Amino acid sequence: MTIPEVFRYAGWSAYLSAAATIVGFVTLIVFFSVGEPFGTINDISSIILALSLLPLALALYLLQRPCAALLSLIALIIGICAMLAASILQILLVLRVVKLELTLVAVPAAFGVVGVWLLLNSSLALASGTLPSGLAWVGMVAGVGYILVILGFILGGQQHPLTAVGGLAAVIGYPIWAIWIGGLLLSGRLIA
């Protein structure tokens, strides 16, 4: 697969990840009001989100590698491990192999590490100019949002204010970032 093909695939994956984020947010709210099947739909959207991030991780690595070979490789490894952990845990939950209690902190923790990946890539993009600075800043906001969610969970669970603030930053910032980067990847204007 050539780099332009990876970028094209990652662009469509970015759009899918934005949609999965929005669906996940809406179904989570509905689940707390109505109950099932919206919890399961939320879990499935989390699987789609985590798996759709994998092509983006590769595309960002290819984009950042010429400017920051080691840091981009570290970001790729961190991202792939977190994305796979989140998706595997959610798949096991949907298949009823594991109980919800096991995933209540582990899945947000995995997405918190995805936030570290997003923050690192956005910082690299800002420093190197590989992406527009506005996009890099939106990525940093979304990345910090994901990190704040797990800090909130650790400090006080789902009810902690950091969980809510971080969740809002991630659920607003990430789709904007994903749609923006998806468009850039599909445009063919990004060069690795």
Give tens-digit pLDDT for 155-175: 988 889 999 999 999 999 999
Overall average pLDDT of the 61-72 stretch: 96
In a domain, 25, yes or no: yes
The two tokens of residue 39 are 């919890």
pTM: 0.94
Overall average pLDDT of the 120-130 stretch: 96
In a domain, 131, yes or no: yes
Q: Write out the residue range of the structural domain in which residue 166 sits.
A: 3-187
In a domain, 192, yes or no: no
Residue 100's pLDDT band, with cuts at 50, 70 and 90, is confident
> What is the number of domains present in the chain?
1
